[in-house]
Amino acid sequence: MTSILKNTSWRSLRVWQRNFDVYLATWKVNFIPPVLEPILYLLAFGLGLGQLVKDVPYNSHQISYLEFIAPGLIATAIMNHGFFETTYASFVRMYYQKTFDAIMSTPLTIEDVVFGEILWGATKSLFAGTIMLVVMFFFGLLSFPLSLWILPISFITGMTFASMGMCFTAIVKNIEMFNFPVFLFITPMFLFSGVFFPLSTLPIWAQYVAWFLPLTFLVSSVRAIGLGSFGMDIFLQLLVLIVLAFICTLLSLSMMKKRLLK
Amino acid sequence: MNNNQEMVRANGLLKKFHNFTAVNKINFSVHKQECFGFLGPNGAGKTTTVRMIYCFLEPSSGELIVLGKNVLHNPRGIKSCIGVCPQENNLDPDLPVWDNLRVFARYFDIVGKEAEIRCEELLHFVGLYAKKNSNVEELSGGMKRRLIIARSLLNKPDLLIMDEPTTGLDPQGKHQVWETIMQLKDQGTTFILTTHYMDEAAHLCDRIVIMDKGEIIMEGKPRELVEKNIGTNVLEIYSANKEIENYIKSKNLNYEKTKTHYYIYIKGGEKELAEISNKFGSEISTLRMANLEDVFLKSTGRELRE
């Protein structure tokens, strides 16, 4: 534990820089899908489902369905971009490309490499959050300037989902095994964390279960900020995610060390 | 600094993986400006040993001092002063040739103009400047190796570690890598090399150790090891039958046998070759100079390793 903290340094930023260089070299490929993604969702749900579901109750007033799901889609993008970066993408760098091995023969430690990857995953969440915010702005679905707070939140909670992803990367034997966390963890969160319907429509027991899913906290706080109904519970919800980020980061550092130094 | 300065010193160095002992209490030291070779069959413990030297693995026990620093206490300090060419190609396929060096230099805090000068210098040195914008995957095996060597020199290392630098290369690629190593040797670089090619060790190394099953079984200069353990010549006989064996025994010769061959280790040997040709036919035997491979096979056994 103390050795993990001692071995993690500012040099993690070198790993971040490496990933950013690669990102810039292929920016068109990296940029277009995240822009299209929210537009497709908004079209499908706005033009399709939105015609059937007129209004949704939120904080004792009615809002349009599109306004309701827009913050949920931002939260989902933050989760996905962080999680998928430190699972599939990090695994490819670690396992197939041996990039981690190469870096570890320089003054960087394993801890620097893994922490740098998590920082990068959180940065991908920030990029995704930013793109989403811009698109939603043009659709007039968020309240500004309060919604700009979603940017720092994207990065901080990106750390949560990126560090969770790194924990899975430390234990999977092959890349196909990521199907387990994706279908048992990410997909259920996408469906049951209040992105598409208010949690209050669920039975009480299911609502309790939903509050065990990290995405529920993010959806709830991003929605409160995005719709301009700022309250103290946002801080508590974000605090949960920050604590989770700390725990998962430390856990993933120690698990990756075991994996790579076996 | 004199040439007896110890660049690496290992005392009772041990590495265990669960119940398997990969390196068993070995001692060795590497001097300044020498090329020191680790030889041994697959699984002998060579790679594990060099991985401990470049702080990729921690020793289970014993002491390992690299460039005056303990690997357990100051891995960052050691890693900033050494260059590593690993066994497998781990160039960055996401980056072109130039960026492979530039990004790697940044890990050593070499940035900006300094990095540019260094990268340019090294690409010229390994003959890859024309390829600077190429994708790494477009390079041949030999070119990739040379790029890895260039990468390992970015920080002007005091010690260069090469783990099987020519494995898998064609003859042209191999000789180009050798030439690069010779040039660096002439510049006074200290090397640690692992290989299972005996010609490579004989060609490049000033001093070698032969490892087997985690232990060092022999140590010395290549030429001296051959003379001490084998003699000057080897008489090979490609037919293993009882009559020949009886003849060899009657002459009291130092020999080894396999399922199909006899190897007689001998000084001179012209007389014996003539006799065997007369008695058993001239097609079945040759006389050649002893080499490091004979020492290696004699000391580690000729059977196939699993």
Q: Is the confidence at residue A138, as pLDDT, over 70?
A: yes
**Which residues, other chains included, contact B64 with Cβ-Cβ below 8 Å and sequence gap of 6+?**
B8, B9, B10, B11, B13, B52, B53, B70, B71, B72
Q: Give per-residue pLDDT as tens, B118-154.
A: 999 999 999 999 999 999 999 998 899 999 999 999 9
Is B241 a member of any domain? Answer: yes
ipTM attached to this prediction: 0.90
Query: Which pLDDT does position A262 carry in this prediction?
Result: 66
**Cα pseudo-dihedral A171, A177, A179, A185, rounded to 10:** -20
Is B77 a member of any domain? Answer: yes
Query: Which pLDDT does position B3 carry in this prediction?
Result: 55
Question: In terms of domains, do B117 and B257 share one?
Answer: no
Is B119 a member of any domain? Answer: yes
**Domain harbouring B258, CATH code:** 3.30.70
Mean pLDDT of chain A: 92
Question: In terms of domains, do B278 and B150 share one?
Answer: no
Question: In terms of domains, do B181 and B249 share one?
Answer: no
B90, B135, B144, B151: best mutation site toward chain A, by most A Cβ within 10 Å?
B90
B231 near B266, Cβ under 8 Å?
yes
Q: Give per-residue pLDDT as tens, A34-81.
A: 888 888 888 888 778 878 887 888 888 899 999 999 999 999 999 999
A105, A260, A261, A262: best mutation site toward chain B, by most B Cβ within 10 Å?
A105
Enumerate the residues of chain B whose CB falls inside 8 A of the CB of residue A14. 106-107
Q: Which domain holds residue B250?
A: 231-289
Residue of A nearest to B16 (CA): A262
B88 touches chain A (CB under 8 A): yes
Query: Which pLDDT does position B304 carry in this prediction?
Result: 61
Closest by CA to B89, choosing from B173, B16, B149, is B149
Question: In terms of domains, do B188 and B133 share one?
Answer: yes
Is B280 a member of any domain? Answer: yes
Query: Which pLDDT does position B80 carry in this prediction?
Result: 96
Query: Which pLDDT does position B292 carry in this prediction?
Result: 83
B156 touches chain A (CB under 8 A): no
CB contact under 8 A, A103 and B57: no
Is B306 a member of any domain? Answer: no
Question: In terms of domains, do B177 and B56 share one?
Answer: yes
In 3-state terms, what secondary structure has residue B237? strand
Question: In terms of domains, do B274 and B150 share one?
Answer: no
Question: In terms of domains, do B199 and B256 share one?
Answer: no
Q: Is the confidence at residue B254, as pLDDT, over 90?
A: no
Question: In terms of domains, do B35 and B175 share one?
Answer: yes
CB contact under 8 A, B86 and A97: no
C-alpha B126/C-alpha B188 separation (Å) is 17
Q: Give per-residue pLDDT as tens, B64-104.
A: 999 999 999 999 999 999 999 998 899 999 999 999 999 99
Query: Which pLDDT does position A182 carry in this prediction?
Result: 95
Closest by CA to B233, choosing from B264, B275, B254, B257, is B264
Question: In terms of domains, do B185 and B51 share one?
Answer: yes
Q: Give per-residue pLDDT as tens, B265-294.
A: 888 888 888 888 888 887 888 888 888 888
- Average pLDDT of the segment spanning A138-144: 89
- Average pLDDT of the segment spanning B160-185: 89
Q: Give per-residue pLDDT as tens, B10-69.
A: 999 999 998 899 999 999 999 999 999 999 888 899 999 999 999 999 999 999 999 999
Phi, psi of A27 (to 5 degrees): -65, -30
Give the end of a domain, one of B196, B220, B244. Answer: B220
A117 near A165, Cβ under 8 Å?
no
**Domain harbouring B100, CATH code:** 3.40.50.300
Query: What is the residue extent of each domain of chain A?
Result: 2-6+63-260
**Total count of residues recorded for chain A:** 262
- In which band, very low, low, confident or very high, does the pLDDT at B306 lie, cut at 50, 70 and 90? low
- In which band, very low, low, confident or very high, does the pLDDT at B1 lie, cut at 50, 70 and 90? very low
Query: Which pLDDT does position B96 carry in this prediction?
Result: 96
Structural domains counted in chain B: 2
- In which band, very low, low, confident or very high, does the pLDDT at B4 lie, cut at 50, 70 and 90? low
Question: In terms of domains, do B179 and B146 share one?
Answer: yes
**Which residues, other chains included, contact B28 with Cβ-Cβ below 8 Å and sequence gap of 6+?**
B8, B9, B10, B36, B209, B216, B219
Question: In terms of domains, do B186 and B235 share one?
Answer: no
B258 touches chain A (CB under 8 A): no
Question: In terms of domains, do B160 and B60 share one?
Answer: yes
Q: Give per-residue pLDDT as tens, A151-170.
A: 999 999 999 999 999 999 99
- Whether the upstream peptide bond of residue A38 has omega within 30° of 0, thus cis, is no
Q: How are the residues of chain A apportioned to helix, strand and coil, as percentages rounded to the nearest 5?
A: 80, 5, 20
Stronger pLDDT, B237 or A19, i.e. the higher one: A19
Is B130 a member of any domain? Answer: yes
- In which band, very low, low, confident or very high, does the pLDDT at A124 lie, cut at 50, 70 and 90? very high
